[in-house]
Amino acid sequence: MNSKEVMEQTAREGYFWTKQDCPVCRIPPTRFLGTRGGRSHREGFGVECEIWSCGTCGLIFPNPMPFPEKGLGQHYDIDADTYFVNHDPEKKNENAVNLVNEAERILGRKGRLLDIGVGRGEIVVAAKSLGWDVEGVEPSQTFADRVEERTGVKIWRDAIEDAAIDDEQFDVVILSAVLEHLYYPDDVIAKIARILKQGGILYLDVPNEAGLFFRVGNLYQRLRGRKWTVNLAPTFSPYHVFGFSPRSVKKLLAKYQLRPEVWKIYGGTSLVSNSGGLMGAVESVGSKAVIALSQYGQMGTYIGA
């Protein structure tokens, strides 16, 4: 079955709910992790989903999957500054420059670079200023318009798997904090493998949903007698619809003959804001402590490859 064929679908609360198999292994998920969103969120955000994981590769996803009835614009056609309000602009710009320089170090030269999910355009701006031939992919019209007007760089206005990009066009593809948002991750990596030139490189980073933060968060929910999970955010910002672990990332890349040249698991910042009151303060402080501990070993909150 093609990953875009509908298995079983119903409409409810602004979403088409579609039963699905693991897109990496092509088998039904076997482990129920809990519910997420709506009644299963401490602030009531989103619509409640069931979150499952694949028993073979460990990929996490809602089943059924809630596809927005009005398309991706239902989630992302908002002002970029509003969507990225919790991101530090100076830090994002610095990270973008460092990432492009690292790509040049690994590749050994400058070349053609494609940034998938341009957002506010930090990577596009950095790559252009450093002398790369740059293009971007951004299905959000508001995000794409802003970056194209700011930089003059060509922005493809489709999902990457649908963009009419010829094979073997790019030396470097950047997929930074994007794959977890995309509904067809297998199709995305297959397309990237085709549009990369021989010897080209992909940069990928995703949350590590098998990390300490998520493990402790799920244990905390069980101790409070809830069937909730803290994995993913399918129907509320930031709209993470797939959750990756080191095992699932490596299996997905290997399907398309992509091999990690650089691999790291790292911590990051707290993912829990203070929702108010004593319990909110405890949860916020606890989250920061767990994130600090996750810097050690291989239990960090993010994967970079």
What are the chain's domains?
Answer: 80-207+251-264 (3.40.50.150)
- What pLDDT is attached to residue 283? 74
Low-confidence residues of the chain: pLDDT under 70: 1-8, 80-81, 84-87, 269-277, 279-280
- What pLDDT is attached to residue 12? 92
pTM of the model: 0.89
Q: Is the dihedral of CA 214, 216, 217, 218 positive or negative?
A: positive
277: left (phi over 0), alpha (psi -120 to 50) or beta: left
Structure tokens at 189: 């990596």
- What pLDDT is attached to residue 156? 96
- What pLDDT is attached to residue 1? 39
- What pLDDT is attached to residue 267? 82
- What pLDDT is attached to residue 73? 85
Place of tokens 């990929």: 59
CB–CB of 100/115 below 8 Å? no
Kindly report the backbone phi and psi dihedral angles of residue 261, in degrees, each rounded to the nearest multiple of 5, phi listed first. Answer: -90, -35
